[in-house]
Chain A
Amino acid sequence: MEFSEHIKTANVEDVVLRQPLHPPSRGTLCITGHHLLFSDREEGSSRQVLLLLRNIDAIEKSVENLLGYSGFFSNAGLSERMSGSSGTITIKCKDLRVLQLDIPGMEQCLNIAHSIETLSCLDCVSEMYPFFYRPADLSLQDQWGLSTPEKHYSQMKELCERWRLSSVNRDYSVCPSYPSAVIVPNSIDDSTLKKVAKFRQGGRFPVLCYYHKKNGMVIMRSSQPLMGANRKRCKEDELLLQAVIDGSDKGYIIDTRSSQQAQQARMTGGGFESKSCYSHWKRLHRQMDRGKALQESLIKLVEACGDESNNMDRWLSKLENSKWLSHVQTALSTAGLLAECVERDGHSVLVHGSEGTDSSLLISTLAQLIMDPCCRTLDGFLALLEREWLQAGHPFQQRCARSAYSHARLQQESPVFLLLLDCVWQLWRQFPLALGFSEALLIRLATEVYASDYGTFLCNSDQERCAMGIKDKTHCLFQALLRPGERDFYSNPLYEPTELAIWPSVHPQSLQLWRGFFLRWTQQARHLEEAQEEIRNMLIEWGKLALS
């Protein structure tokens, strides 16, 4: 398919661009297969705005004709009658920026709007921009990704006594959303795993995702067991879980659904680990909202942030009504519970909800940040995301297809990853010295996950990424973020490693709206950025002096 067939008007002169934090500017608008390019041609200044079409979540257009001619028209004699007309396109981006373009000529305006609408939501992966992005300082031969399950396993010497690396899923046939290699108990062979996979939704059998060096306890994750209405059992599944707690008295299962929801899931073939079959496991239910509820929460929050009524009561009630901060609170407190089970209680934990691709990943990631200092460095955090989200099969393409402004009917969209980043930001704010990365990294990730030059967040699983040749044909975001210049920018200048667990406060007063992201296009965010810059300068200066 050719992009050009969607572009009737490629260039428009004399367009006025209005964007936050800048005065309006006049220049040329150009539309390509993947970008909207605006270049400002005013005296000397040649500012350019390059916007990835994929970043556009929604547009609104209004055209007006100075001759009193309304939007309805026929083709005949159009050019003559259009002379006095103009149009405005409001562009709402997935990074929450809102731009406005005043375009002379109704036809040009409608053409541009049509191109944006079509090109911004093409869903053919191989035609997306990462396949065309070829920056001079990166080579496709560079290493893709930071690690592999094999490497991860081999680096943790403590594991090999009781755990093994299984490649039962090498061709992705046992579990399409898992990576090709996973870590399982030594005593469980591949044929058992295959049977367990049939008893778990989507084949997501329990695998190890975290080993706590201090006491040898682990976090496992999976999807729900398929017990169904007639309470089916699976001996192999029970065996696997028994092998996990081998030698200790009990383990915990944190089910991210309420017990009522778990019961109801039986009606559709799902279910939970019943006490009678898994006698050594204690189930804890913590209801976490997911899917549509989260997406709607995000939409309401963004709407509240854009409210211009300047009314405090209205703001606070909209903030409350969006429930976003409640989701943050629930996620952090459930992750805290998980970490408490492992670190303080000294027990292994299995985490799952229903599919095991969203809230399970959310809380296992947060719990690892709370407990494990290795995850808190810049490299460690990106590796954690790679393991727990990319390799673990969070369906990024489905979840992040659209964001808060889209008018399209919701399908699989859900801002789980954004919620993760928000929770990590809360940790970062409460422990400003404990994390090795900066707020800028979290904001960058929140942007890249929705629209990116890099292939990292494309597709829904390892299998799909392999099939699309992502690793050969696109560049890796994580590698790019670790280049020397970028590494400095995304590091926390205040970072001071601590071996201690960082237990977050989940009291509502301790949780704040993530202004750096949700209000990033306001003047206020600029002042905060300036302060961060100041901190960085101070420490650089100090470092120089200390060395001299």
Chain B
Amino acid sequence: MEHIRTPKVENVRLLDRSLGQRKASVGTLYLSATHTIFVENNPETRKETWVLHSMVSSVDRPPATPGGSQLVLRCKDFRVYQVLIPQERDCADVHASLVRLSRPEKYSELYCLSFNPNVNKEEREASWSFIDLMADYKRMGVPNNLWVATAVNSEYRVCDTYPSELFVPKSATTGIIVGSSRFRSRGRFPALSYFHQDTLAAVCRCSQPLSGFSGRCQEDELMLQAVMKSNPGSDYIYVVDTRPKLNAMANRAAGKGYENEDHYTNIKLQFIGIENIHVMRSSQQKIIDVGEMRAPSMSDFLWGLENSGWLKHIKAVLDAGAFIARAVADEGVSVLVHCSDGWDRTAQACSVASILLDPYYRTIRGFMVLIERDWVSFGHKFSHRYAHLDGDPKEVSPVIDQLLECVWQLSEQFPCAFEFNERFLITLHTYVYSCQYGSFLGNCQKERRDLRLRERTHSAWPQLWKDRSDYANPLYQAELSQSQGVLRPNTSPYCFKMWKGLYNHVEKSAPPRQSPADYLAAVREESQQLEEELTNHQEVPPGGTAHHHHQHHQHPQPGSRQEDSSSDRSANHVGEAVGSEEDD
């Protein structure tokens, strides 16, 4: 509270620009330790808007207007709030407070360390074992006679950004692993990401080799040999360098680089050309600007879209995943994926590949497992990339945004293949940035352990799982051909569109708001109920239950088909639906 000079300001005007709102509402602004809260004066609605400090990415003070001083809050979920405060002094105070509160300097200031959902200690501890990575490796058939667990990284001795439990080729000895890790940037040696039981080919990941122009390392060469030997069906492996070739070559001057095909027997090197985090950061800023254009012409919009380069980058990530999936599924060849440090582009490419290869990762739980494995456990630097703490702005980049968007683009192409919907992806995006849960805090497993997050915070996964009915895709059909086995996406440019749901929260059109997904979800639920009733009431003569069924027949229609455009009404509606479900 030390940073809050003025906790309450009256007669403030708030405009939620991202909702396409045109008229500001008048109310009172409160600053709490964790949120900015705006309460509308209108006695009928008393609508409340809560903005988490950790979601605020910038607070600007444009020049004052006759009506007062302005603040513009830009949030990490791309919402934009415009605040008009009558007194210049109050505005300055609020601005100073928000600037400080939105840039915490220590982990202890973060929301998750004060956030206390209504659960007891046992539940909190159980929440941390909700996702069990070892169970997932088991599900994919690991360990087996090709891939084994290694304790080499226990206590994070070999690589401090890797998890302590890892799978490596059976023939890789501790000496080979340690030697290879010394030859890899940040010690990130080749380890298993995904094993494909159908072809026995695997997706492995690592960081770039410290080869420079001519360096070589026998253990590293043996390590890649071991990866190849762990796939009886193939006599070579692909090494996918997800960087543009020029960038990889430039790295050689710094003693890093890529594998020399003359030194490694039986590898095929493939560059994909995903740009680095700096390019991605500025590209996303451009597409945010495109989303914020007031009344662009079609040409302005398409030109802006092209100029941002964003969809091109999304396509590159998807192309990388598709290449790996094809190699593993169609050619039966194992793939070793890396970029520079192997925690951004590598995580993206491996995850997309897993989603394409294995229907499990297209389910709600499977996708959680995937994020936990490729991102959380393998040391994706969440706190740096998503600016959890005030730090180097050059470390910030929308890496996981791009994965989520790739999945969204895929779900547009295969509408029946994913168990979850767009809302799930957007909520996950918010959780990654909001620091409400400890799941995505820190930059690697070791750091999380040292912070004792399991004792001090809660895991996000059980909460998402509890709300899973909100995140269900009613069209999901595991039996359909498009949902089964390997997804083979079309990555022609015309298959990509701007993800409006993320960058612009609402369709800027007037009522009636219509959501077929909500309607279908209601229909699906209703059908299941009816089916259960039918099996339960089979003894009752058909005429006897007609009335009862009829009532149910009416149930999904009102409200769910058409909603008013105002967001709080639809929010109410969701609440009502949940309530009535429980009553049943």
Q: Which residues of A contact B (CB under 8 A)?
A: 305, 310-317, 319-320, 323, 325-326, 328-329, 430-434, 494, 496, 498, 500, 502-505, 507-513, 515, 519, 522-524, 527-528, 530-531, 534-535, 538-539, 541-542, 545-548
Contact A548 B549 (CB under 8 A): yes
Known contacts A312-B311, A312-B496, A527-B414: A522-B298 contact under CB 8 Å: no
Of the candidates A310, A312, A509, A512, the one whose C-beta lies within 8 Å of that of B504 is A509
Contact A504 B509 (CB under 8 A): yes
Q: Kindly list chain B residues whose C-beta atoms are within 8 Å of the C-beta of A510.
A: 500, 507-509
Minimum distance in angstroms from A347 CB to a CB of chain B: 19
Q: Kindly list chain A residues whose C-beta atoms are within 8 Å of the C-beta of B504.
A: 509
Contact A519 B509 (CB under 8 A): no
Flag the segment in B128-136, B208-216, B231-239, B518-526 that touches A. B518-526
17 residue pairs bridging A and B, Cβ less than 8 Å apart: A312-B496, A316-B311, A319-B302, A320-B298, A430-B507, A494-B520, A507-B295, A509-B498, A510-B508, A522-B492, A528-B415, A530-B415, A530-B482, A538-B527, A542-B527, A547-B549, A548-B549
Q: Which residues of B contact A (CB under 8 A)?
A: 291, 295-303, 305-306, 309, 311-312, 315, 413-416, 474-475, 477, 480-482, 490-498, 500, 504, 507-512, 514-516, 519-520, 523-524, 526-527, 530-531, 534, 542, 549-550, 552-553, 557, 561-562
Of the candidates B297, B509, B511, B527, the one whose C-beta lies within 8 Å of that of A500 is B511
Of the candidates B415, B497, B498, B527, the one whose C-beta lies within 8 Å of that of A545 is B527
Measured CB to CB, the nearest residue on chain B to A492 is B516
Q: Kindly list chain B residues whose C-beta atoms are within 8 Å of the C-beta of A508.
A: 296-298, 300-302
Contact A542 B523 (CB under 8 A): yes
Measured CB to CB, the nearest residue on chain A to B500 is A509
Known contacts A433-B514, A512-B497: A538-B490 contact under CB 8 Å: no
Q: Kindly list chain B residues whose C-beta atoms are within 8 Å of the C-beta of A507.
A: 295-296, 508
Q: Kindly list chain B residues whose C-beta atoms are within 8 Å of the C-beta of A496.
A: 519, 557, 561-562
Known contacts A530-B416, A546-B553: A523-B306 contact under CB 8 Å: no
Contact B507 A329 (CB under 8 A): no
Of the candidates A433, A503, A528, A530, the one whose C-beta lies within 8 Å of that of B510 is A503
Closest 6 CB pairs of A and B: A505-B509, A315-B493, A508-B301, A531-B415, A316-B306, A320-B302
Contact B527 A320 (CB under 8 A): no
Q: Kindly list chain A residues whose C-beta atoms are within 8 Å of the C-beta of B508.
A: 505, 507, 510
Q: Kindly list chain A residues whose C-beta atoms are within 8 Å of the C-beta of B496.
A: 312
Of the candidates A316, A434, A512, the one whose C-beta lies within 8 Å of that of B305 is A316
Q: Kindly list chain B residues whose C-beta atoms are within 8 Å of the C-beta of A505.
A: 507-509
Known contacts A433-B562, A545-B531: A534-B477 contact under CB 8 Å: yes
What is the CA–CA distance of A511 and B296 in the complex, to the nearest angstrom? 12
Contact B306 A527 (CB under 8 A): no
Q: Kindly list chain A residues whose C-beta atoms are within 8 Å of the C-beta of B491.
A: 310
Minimum distance in angstroms from B564 CB to a CB of chain A: 11
Contact A523 B490 (CB under 8 A): yes
What is the CA–CA distance of A65 and B534 in the complex, to the nearest angstrom? 70
Q: Kindly list chain A residues whose C-beta atoms are within 8 Å of the C-beta of B514.
A: 430-434
Q: Kindly list chain B residues whose C-beta atoms are within 8 Å of the C-beta of A503.
A: 509-510
Contact A511 B298 (CB under 8 A): yes
* Other A-B pairs beyond A433-B562, A530-B415, A545-B527, 13, CB < 8 Å: A305-B494, A312-B493, A315-B494, A316-B302, A319-B302, A329-B298, A503-B509, A510-B508, A527-B414, A527-B415, A531-B416, A538-B524, A538-B527
Contact A548 B542 (CB under 8 A): yes
Minimum distance in angstroms from B29 CB to a CB of chain A: 30
Minimum distance in angstroms from A449 CB to a CB of chain B: 24
Contact A434 B512 (CB under 8 A): yes
Q: Kindly list chain B residues whose C-beta atoms are within 8 Å of the C-beta of A527.
A: 413-416, 482
Known contacts A496-B562, A524-B495, A530-B416: A433-B509 contact under CB 8 Å: no
Measured CB to CB, the nearest residue on chain A to B523 is A542
What is the CA–CA distance of A282 and B282 in the complex, to the nearest angstrom? 48
Of the candidates A502, A524, A531, A547, the one whose C-beta lies within 8 Å of that of B490 is A524
Minimum distance in angstroms from B244 CB to a CB of chain A: 15
Q: Kindly list chain B residues whose C-beta atoms are within 8 Å of the C-beta of A500.
A: 511-512
Q: Kindly list chain B residues whose C-beta atoms are within 8 Å of the C-beta of A311.
A: 493
Minimum distance in angstroms from B359 CB to a CB of chain A: 15
Minimum distance in angstroms from B525 CB to a CB of chain A: 10
What is the CA–CA distance of A61 and B377 in the complex, to the nearest angstrom? 59
Q: Kindly list chain A residues whose C-beta atoms are within 8 Å of the C-beta of B520.
A: 494, 535, 538
Q: Kindly list chain B residues whose C-beta atoms are within 8 Å of the C-beta of A502.
A: 512
Minimum distance in angstroms from A547 CB to a CB of chain B: 8
What is the CA–CA distance of A68 and B561 in the complex, to the nearest angstrom? 68
Contact B306 A313 (CB under 8 A): yes
Q: Kindly list chain B residues whose C-beta atoms are within 8 Å of the C-beta of A547.
A: 549
Minimum distance in angstroms from A437 CB to a CB of chain B: 15
What is the CA–CA distance of A305 and B312 in the complex, to the nearest angstrom? 17
What is the CA–CA distance of A312 and B507 in the complex, to the nearest angstrom? 25
Q: Kindly list chain B residues whose C-beta atoms are within 8 Å of the C-beta of A523.
A: 490
Measured CB to CB, the nearest residue on chain B to A548 is B534
Contact A432 B542 (CB under 8 A): no
Minimum distance in angstroms from A161 CB to a CB of chain B: 32
What is the CA–CA distance of A162 and B349 in the complex, to the nearest angstrom? 69
Known contacts A310-B492, A535-B516, A548-B534: A498-B526 contact under CB 8 Å: no
Q: Kindly list chain B residues whose C-beta atoms are within 8 Å of the C-beta of A522.
A: 490, 492
Q: Kindly list chain B residues whose C-beta atoms are within 8 Å of the C-beta of A433.
A: 514, 516, 519, 561-562
The residue in A431, A507, A534, A538 that gathers the most chain B C-beta atoms within 10 A of its C-beta is A507
What is the CA–CA distance of A49 and B425 in the complex, to the nearest angstrom? 43
What is the CA–CA distance of A314 and B492 in the complex, to the nearest angstrom? 11
Q: Kindly list chain A residues whose C-beta atoms are within 8 Å of the C-beta of B527.
A: 538, 541-542, 545
Q: Kindly list chain A residues whose C-beta atoms are within 8 Å of the C-beta of B306.
A: 312-313, 316-317, 320
Measured CB to CB, the nearest residue on chain B to A528 is B415
Measured CB to CB, the nearest residue on chain A to B482 is A527
Known contacts A315-B493, A434-B514, A546-B530: A325-B416 contact under CB 8 Å: no
Contact A538 B474 (CB under 8 A): yes
What is the CA–CA distance of A511 and B509 in the complex, to the nearest angstrom? 11
Contact B480 A534 (CB under 8 A): yes
Q: Kindly list chain B residues whose C-beta atoms are within 8 Å of the C-beta of A541.
A: 527
Q: Kindly list chain A residues whose C-beta atoms are within 8 Å of the C-beta of B309.
A: 312-313
Contact A314 B531 (CB under 8 A): no
Q: Kindly list chain B residues whose C-beta atoms are within 8 Å of the C-beta of A524.
A: 413, 490, 495
Q: Kindly list chain A residues whose C-beta atoms are within 8 Å of the C-beta of B302.
A: 316-317, 319-320, 325, 508
What is the CA–CA distance of A502 and B509 in the complex, to the nearest angstrom? 9
